[in-house]
Amino acid sequence: MLKRVSIHGNWSSRMGFVLAATGAAVGLGNIWKFPYITGENGGGAFVLVYLACVVAVGLPVMIAEMVLGRRGRRNPIGTMKLLSEEESRSSAWRFVGWLGVATGMLILSYYSVVAGWTLSYTVESISGAFRDAGPEEVGAMFSGLLASPLTLLAWHTLFMGMTVFVVARGVQHGLEAAVRYLMPVLLVLLLVLVGYAMTTGHFMEGVHFLFDPDFSKLTPAAFMIALGQAFFTLSIGMGAIMAYGAYLPEDTAIAPTAATVVAADTTVALLAGLAIFPLVFANGLNPGEGPGLIFQTLPLAFGMMPGGVVFGTLFFLLLVVAAWTSAIGLIEPAVAYLVESRSMPRRRAALLIGGSIWLLGFATVFSFNVWSDLTVSIGDRAFTMFDGVEFFTSNIALPLGGLLIAVFAGWVMSKGSTLDEFERGASTGYATWRLLVRWVAPAALLIVFLQVTGLVDITNL
Ligand code: PFF
C-alpha cells in the first residue's frame, strides 16, 4: 500500500470530504443553471439524457479523480506529473492538470459575477423589494441589475473577496464548518419552495415538463450540453475533485463516497426544477428564458407567500453559500499548485490567483451592458463574452479534461495501482468502474466531441 501525505493535511474524516465535495458540487449549477438549460432544451428528454450522463460518465470520472488525487496527494498538475512518471509514461500528462487549473479560473471568472447577482438579490429581498411584485417588475429589476456595470462589479468584487478570504485561511476549517451546517438548511428551504410550488395549481405542469420525455425536442447539441452540465454540476473534469481527493483519509472507500456526492447533487438539481417550473407556468413565463430564469421566477413566489421576506432572504443567502463553497473548489487547484510547486505562502497565492480571476471577470460584467453588442456568431447563435466563456468551459474544456482523466485512469495507470486505491475501505464494483472508465466514458465523450466538430451526426447513428 502506498503511503504518501499531502502538505496541506487531510480532511478530518470521510464525512469532511463528503461535505466539501458536496459543497463544491452543489452550487449555482444546480439551482441556477440546471433549470435554465433544461428550459432551453425542452425539458424531460434533456433531463433523461442528463441523468444518464451523470450515472454512466459522471460517477466513473469522479471516482477516477478521487483515485488519482489520493494516490498522488498533490495539486492536479503535481499529481498528474508524479503518477505518469511512476507508471513510466510521458510526463506530458501533467498538461491535463494545467488544463484543469485554467478551466477552473475561467469558470470562476463568470461564476463569481452570477454569485454577485445572488448577493444583490439577498439585499433586495431584505429590503422587501419582492413584496407583491409582478412578473414585469421582477423582470425590470433583473435587467436593471445587468445594465449597471458598476453594481455588477461591486458584487463580483465582494464575492471574489469572500472566496480569497476562505482559501487564504486553508481549506479545512472554514470550509468543513460552513458546509456541515448550511447544506442541510439549503435542502430544507428548497423543500419549502417545492411545497409552495405545489400550491400554485401548476405543479403537475412542472412535473410533466421535467419528467415527460419528448424526444422530438432533443437536438444534437442537447447531448453535448447535457454532458457538459453533468461535468459542471459534479465539479469534475477540471481537477477540483482530484485536489480534494489529495486530502482524503487513507482508508476511505472511494466508490460509495463518490456515489453519495453524486446522489446529493442530483437531488438538489431536481428539487430546484420542481420548485421553479411550476412558477414559470403559473406566471406565464417562458421556460427557455435563459440565465435570468430563477431571478425572474423565484422573487414572484417570495413576493406572494406568507413570510416571503424571511424565506426569500434565507434562500438567496444560502445560494450565496452554495456558490461560495463551489468557488473554493474552482480556485483550490491553482492555489494548491502555487503553494506546492512555487513554495508561495497560501495567502499570497490566493490573492494572486483571486486577483487574476477578478480581472477576467470584467469580460462577463461588461458582456451584459457596454460590450453586449460584441458578439461572435456560431451557427444561428450570437455569443457574448459571457456566453463564450460559459460555452467553452462547460461544453469543451470540462468534457475534454474528463476524457483525458478517464483515459489516464483506465488505460495509462496500471490495474494494480488503481485497484490498490479503489479497494481501500472495502469498495466493491471495481470491474464495473473499470469497464465504464475504459470504454463507456471515453466513447460517450468522443461521440459528443465528434458531434461538436460536425464529423458525425448522432441523430443518424
Ligand atoms: N459544481 C458547481 C455548481 O454546480 O455550481 C460548479 C463547479 C464548482 C464546477 C467547482 C467545478 C468546480 F471545481
pLDDT tens digits, one per residue of 95-119: 999 999 999 999 999 999 999 999 9
Residue-level pLDDT at 198: 95
Q: Phi/psi of residue 382, each to 5°?
A: -100, 125
Q: Find the 224 Cα to ligand 1 centroid distance in Å.
A: 17
C-alpha distances in Å from residue 184, one per residue of 27, 187, 415, 431: 13, 5, 38, 34
In the reported structure, the alpha carbon of residue 428 is separated from the centroid of ligand 1 by a whole-number distance in angstroms of 27
- The confidence score (pLDDT) of residue 433 equals 97
Bridge partners, residue 378, by sequence: 381
Mean of the per-residue pLDDT values of the chain? 91
CA separation for the pair 25, 238 (Å, rounded): 12
Amino acid occupying residue 385 = M
The whole-number average pLDDT for the span 66-71 is 97
Question: HSE-up of 296 (CA within 13 Å, CB side)?
Answer: 25
pLDDT tens track for 260-317: 999 999 999 999 999 999 999 998 889 998 999 999 999 998 898 888 899 889 889 8
Which residue did the predictor score with more confidence, 355 or 454?
355
Q: In whole angstroms, give the CA distance from residue 78 to residue 72.
A: 8
Q: Does the C-beta of 25 come closer than 6 Å to ligand 1?
A: yes
Atom of ligand 1 nearest to the CA of 27: 5
Which among 57, 55, 67 has a CA at the least distance from the CA of 439? 57
User: Is the minimum distance from the CB of 241 to ligand 1 under 6 angstroms?
Assistant: no
**Cα–Cα nearest to 275, from 226, 224, 210:** 210
The rounded distance, in Å, linking the Cα atoms of 461 and 378 is 24
Other beta carbons within 10 angstroms of residue 48's beta carbon come to: 16
Place of cell 435554465: 36
> In testing the pocket of ligand 1, which one of 32, 183, 231, 233 has its CB within 8 Å of the most ligand atoms?
233
Separation CA 277–CA 42 (nearest Å): 12
86: amino acid identity, one letter? E
134 CA to centre of ligand 1 in angstroms: 32
Cβ neighbours for 432, distance < 8 A, ≥ 6 positions apart: none
Question: Ligand 1, residues 66, 163, 171, 232: which to mutate, most atoms within 8 A of Cβ?
Answer: 232
Q: Of how many residues is the chain composed? A: 461
Domain 14-460: state its class. mainly alpha
Provide the H-helix boundaries in 283-307: 293-304
Please indicate whether residue 394, judged by its CB atom, sits closer than 6 Å to ligand 1.
Answer: no
Query: CA distances (Å), 427 to each of 234, 245, 430, in order?
Result: 21, 16, 8
Helix (H, G, I), strand (E, B) or coil at 453: coil
DSSP secondary structure letters along 397-417 = IHHHHHHHHHHIIIIIS-HHH
- Our answer on whether the CB atom of 326 is closer than 6 Å to any ligand 1 atom is yes
Q: How far apart are CA 86 and CA 82, in angstroms?
A: 6
Separation between Cα atoms, residue 275 and residue 312, nearest integer Å: 13
Residue pLDDT, tens place only, 399-449: 999 999 999 999 999 999 999 999 998 778 999 999 999 999 999 998 887
239 CB under 6 A from ligand 1? no
Answer yes or no: is the C-beta of 104 below 6 A from any ligand 1 atom: yes
Say how far residue 78 (Cα) sits from the centre of its chain: 23
Would you place residue 183 in the very low, low, confident or very high pLDDT band (cuts 50, 70, 90)? Answer: confident
Global pTM reads: 0.93
pLDDT tens digit string along 116-141?
Answer: 999 999 999 999 999 989 999 999 99
Cell output for 328: 473554493
